[in-house]
């Protein structure tokens, strides 16, 4: 069975035929994606299946990863946080290093970048690539995966200078779109239904995972899967658990995730979470290795409720993952979570630990509502947030940019 046939079995044959038609308009086009890390975080999770699927559709698709020092990634983490509203501004020396690392990576990849028909630059880390490549043949797209609705003004001015020369930008939500001198598009991210993280495991694998981590399958379980990042508010989840357990005896909490190569704060946040958890035997703080998809899958399926109580969130693929597994999601009332959690239908949006605790209590005492929301959540994920939909929109964008470029040439 081909890869396209496998996706057709999940998304439908009509969806795959539409992808074939769009890809046929771009047959043989070279497409380069550049991001900051090969694993850890949503961007890498999207690109891992996107590249082979694009190739099977006839595109010459490749994925390159930016190379940088710990000092560089400390700077880009501050830029990332500032774009999401934190009042952190890298100093002049850090910004100079940022530019130098981008220039060095461009020199390493120049032949490929100059000749590519389309280049997708993901997030702030490699955003300065284009300023160091004045001679380029193709169309360049800056893909912003984070919540840019209220950026720190000085950092946004710096970043805007980097991305203004691009041919287009992509944001995950309309609220994230920033004024730029080129067209901006809204394309939400998506999950890969064929990945180990999202396929149906057998019941024995789920049971074995629970046993490995000391979880009691007969007692209620809430799970949050995410990087250990303050914007994911893992400490707030522990506070919500402690409020809920007063009314739900035997409640268990799992906070599980790993780090990413471009996130130097992960170890510090993990230590804070473990300190907050203390010696409570029913709070399980798990540091998972990158790409431990089978464990993540089993934990989400063992959960009665999936939680993603983020304070800022560009999208939140873990929300989609929980919905795909038929679980209601209690999510932070922010960013891309609002696009997925339809309040009272696929889960609940909350703005505080107290609100999260109230919804946990409601769902665990109302099994019928919990199961109904879970079923609705899975169907909503299938219709709206699978990889095939995201690729369709990328292909549509590339066709539009190609045709727009051709029109300018004809008019000139």
SS3 assignment, position 34: strand
Q: Which of 202, 252, 196, 200 is nearest to 224 (CA)?
A: 252
Q: Is residue 195 part of a domain?
A: no
> What pLDDT does 42 receive?
85
- Model confidence pLDDT, tens digit, residues 99-133: 999 999 999 999 999 999 999 999 999 999 999 99
pLDDT tier at 409, thresholds 50, 70, 90: very low
CATH number, domain at 365? 3.40.50.2000
- Model confidence pLDDT, tens digit, residues 380-398: 999 999 999 999 999 999 9
> Do 171 and 240 lie in a common domain?
no
**0.75 surpassed by pTM:** yes
Over range 361-367, report the average pLDDT. 98
Q: Is residue 277 part of a domain?
A: yes
Exposed, middle or buried, 111 (CB in 10 Å: 0-12/13-18/19+)?
Answer: exposed
Q: Is residue 398 part of a domain?
A: yes
* End-to-end Cα, the chain, rounded Å: 47
The Cα–Cα gap between 45 and 323 comes to 17
> What pLDDT does 290 receive?
76
Q: Where are the strands (E) in 158-251, listed by range? A: 168-171, 184-186, 221-225
Over range 39-48, report the average pLDDT. 88
CA 217 to chain centre: 29
> What pLDDT does 406 receive?
54
Over range 10-36, report the average pLDDT. 96
Q: Any idea which of 252-261, 333-342, 377-386, 391-400 has the lowest mean pLDDT?
A: 252-261
∠ at Cα 185 (181, 29), nearest 5°? 95
> Do 236 and 111 lie in a common domain?
no
State yes or no: pLDDT of 410 exceeds 60.
Answer: no
Over range 194-206, report the average pLDDT. 92
Domain holding 275, by residue range, is: 203-384
> Do 257 and 393 lie in a common domain?
no
The Cα–Cα gap between 328 and 330 comes to 7
> Do 360 and 399 lie in a common domain?
no
């Amino acid at each position: 069975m081909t890869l396209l046939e496998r996706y057709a079995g999940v998304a439908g044959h009509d969806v795959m035929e539409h992808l074939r038609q769009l890809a046929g308009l771009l047959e043989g086009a070279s497409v380069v994606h550049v991001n900051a890390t090969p694993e850890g975080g949503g961007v890498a999770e999207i690109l891992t299946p996107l590249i082979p699927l694009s190739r099977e559709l006839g595109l010459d698709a490749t994925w390159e990863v930016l190379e940088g020092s710990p000092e560089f990634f400390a700077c880009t983490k501050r830029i990332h946080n500032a774009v999401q509203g934190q009042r952190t501004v890298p100093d002049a020396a850090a910004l100079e290093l940022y530019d130098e690392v981008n220039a060095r990576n461009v020199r390493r990849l120049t032949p490929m970048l100059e000749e590519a028909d389309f280049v997708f630059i993901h997030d702030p880390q490699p955003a300065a690539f284009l300023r160091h490549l004045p001679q380029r043949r193709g169309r360049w797209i800056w893909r912003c995966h984070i919540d840019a609705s209220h950026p720190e003004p000085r950092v946004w001015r710096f970043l805007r200078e980097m991305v203004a020369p691009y041919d287009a930008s992509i944001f995950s939500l309309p609220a994230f779109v920033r004024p730029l001198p080129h067209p901006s598009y809204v394309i939400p991210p998506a999950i890969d239904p064929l990945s180990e993280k999202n396929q149906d495991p057998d019941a024995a694998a789920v049971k074995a995972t629970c046993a490995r981590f000391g979880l009691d399958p007969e007692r209620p379980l809430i799970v949050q899967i995410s990087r250990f990042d303050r914007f994911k508010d893992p400490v707030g989840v522990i506070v919500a658990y402690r409020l809920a357990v007063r009314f739900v005896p035997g409640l268990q909490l799992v906070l599980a995730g790993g780090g990413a190569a471009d996130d130097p704060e992960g170890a510090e946040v993990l230590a804070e979470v473990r300190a907050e958890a203390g010696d409570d035997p029913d709070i399980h703080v798990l540091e998972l290795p990158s790409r431990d998809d089978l464990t993540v899958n089993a934990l989400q399926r063992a959960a009665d409720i999936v939680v993603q109580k983020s304070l800022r969130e560009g999208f939140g693929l873990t929300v989609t993952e929980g919905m795909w597994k038929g679980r209601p999601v209690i999510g932070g009332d922010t960013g891309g979570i609002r696009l997925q959690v339809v309040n009272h239908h696929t889960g609940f949006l909350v703005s505080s630990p107290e609100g999260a605790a109230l919804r946990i209590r409601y769902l665990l005492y109302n099994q019928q509502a919990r199961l109904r929301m879970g079923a609705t959540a899975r169907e909503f994920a299938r219709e709206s947030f699978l990889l095939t939909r995201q690729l369709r929109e990328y292909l549509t964008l590339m066709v539009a940019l190609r045709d727009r470029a051709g029109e300018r040439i004809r008019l000139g």
